[in-house]
Chains A and B, each alone.
Chain A
Amino acid sequence: MKVLVPIKRVVDYNVKVRVKADNSGVDLANVKMAMNPFCEIAVEEAVRLKEKGVVTEIIAVTIGNKAAQEQLRTAMALGADRSILVETEEDAQPLAIAKALKALVDKESPDLVILGKQAIDGDNSQTGQMLAALAGMPQGTFASEVNVADGKVKVTREIDGGLQTVELSLPAVVTTDLRLNEPRYASLPNIMKAKKKPLEVISAADLGVSFASSTKTLKVEPPAERSAGIKVASVAELVEKLKNEAKVI
């Protein structure tokens, strides 16, 4: 069984991002980049399925600039067998990415696509769903548990106020939530072995897609600064302040 794992290069989660002076976007100059944490969870899940003997091949794929090869190398160090970079300088949006992934699904015919529920840069949470719709595949989003057996995948989903379990026939799309697993770190020998694994670079044209954006960013602003809080002496004082100062109750 073959698994496709789309991943994304984003600003490292430890970095405090800053908005560019002209409000055109987030300042990425000299900022540390890393694999999106939800994508790491997706890679880990695929590797675990391979370790269980369910999966035979893991293909990591990303859409991004040349530097995104670093994240593919990381995915291969974690256990992906080979990887594909669809190279573009465009800041591709979810729909364009989903279309490119659909083209890759047609080309590679994976039995399962596992990807992060969202990327921590845009927090869109759209790519997996759009891909499922475009490819006509069932989807199990926000997975906290994944079991593959008998041509089906059972996905436990984290939903508001509880868990929902769905069963999908393969091929299917699964998006990962935070609690699905704790990703391993790549050991040095595996990092070194990954350098020898195949990394294919293709273009949008090769897939017959375009990354030109259908949306336009007008303005990016940092969140308003929060002023310091205060300490109250008693519950009575808290209630008084919520009532008369904050006027929320």
Chain B
Amino acid sequence: MAEDAHYMSVRRMSDALRARELSAVELADVHLRRIDAVDGSLGAYLARTPELAREQAAAADAVLAKGDGGPLMGVPMQLKDNMATRGVATTCASRMLETYVPPYDAAVTGALGQAGAVLLGKGNMDEYAMGSSSETSAFKPVHNPWDLERVPGGSSGGPAAAVAAGLAPYALGSDTGGSIRQPAALCGVVGLKPTYGLVSRYGLIAFASSLDQIGPLTRTVEDAALVLNAIAGHDARDSTSIEAPVADYTRGLEDGVRGLRVGVVSELFGEGIDPEVARVTREAIVQLETLGAIVDWDVSLPTSRAALAVYYVLAPSECSANLARYDGVKYGYADQGERSLMAALEATRRDGFGAEVKRRILMGTYALSAGYYDAYYKKAQQVRTLIRREFDEAFERLDVLVTPTSPTVAFKLGEIVDPIVMHANDVCTVPANVAGLPGISVPCGFVEALPVGMQLIGPHLSEATLLRTAHAYEQATGWHDVHPAL
């Protein structure tokens, strides 16, 4: 059984550990060996932590031997490299933080540690989570396990590729404008962006604070629910975290979609969307209909078309402040050549940041400048309110909205050079971030042997509904059992 242990679901691994079919140390080794064998061609990992993994696995084995521990006890995983891990380099895939080792754990790192998770290493990504292809990583690009010449999407390309290729049963990604869902779609895995505030952002290196949210990437929907159980909940260290009672997201997973009111966002099936992707997604919706969902095939959300523009004002604005702390004085990369303070600061930021990061800092600085604030930032906030309102109205009569997750399947590395074209990749995913709503991408088929994802968006704190819907679809279709040939 050890040969395909790396494609077991989290649930199945957990059961196997509990039944002592294999130990946590053995399970960690299966993954560490596979990472050694495969990741050279994928680039899904930055730092690997084999020693820590074996140590954590041994501790988990001791707990499991006593019959204790929850479903994540002893199960390995990967964390995107923008989540602080005490004693383990956390670089954001940036030269700026190449040498940075946090002295503290992110809230999610701590929560998973409590749950007995085994850290295999840190996930490669777009630099500071800015990108849709994982090509802006300062260290190496990530390759799509389904076609190594193609990108895995981004910015959580490392987590998505690792989970798709069996280099981790689950990973945590972060999603600011689609950074969990889009790579999940392009790599054929499940990606959940929870409601803004459901998972603590404490220790998540900020890109755009009002949009960032941590969530799981898994191979099955049930696994996403299991991981969400471990990381959701109020955290006093994050003032934007929601004070809501913690649910068990695995409950009701089997309840099906009979009577579920599903709306198809017509704007996101037309212009700018690959017709084949649109067709495959429509077929998936037909499947939901077959399972008993009531589908409204023509829901219009006209304001949400502005979400991309809103996003590309707000996210850079916030990022321009969030990334101001990287000045070479306290940690990370520091220019050594310049003698004066301001010259050294400029040189540090010129050489420490990549082009896309600098582009966004410039855009944000401009948008917040005196004389432009009202026209950009303030206007964007106003439109954001309108988008939220539009979603609220839609959810008065609908339970779930459906769109393709990505306008296209995975494109080739180097294929998109125009940043505006690259930014347009987020068109389907950005509205949920702008409105703070939960969204999930679930594999729904292939176009020319490349995975396609279907996105479900629900109202505030509707994770249970999204998971139930995605689970019903997944169980009826079985796309999750198809793995890339590596």
- Bind each other: no
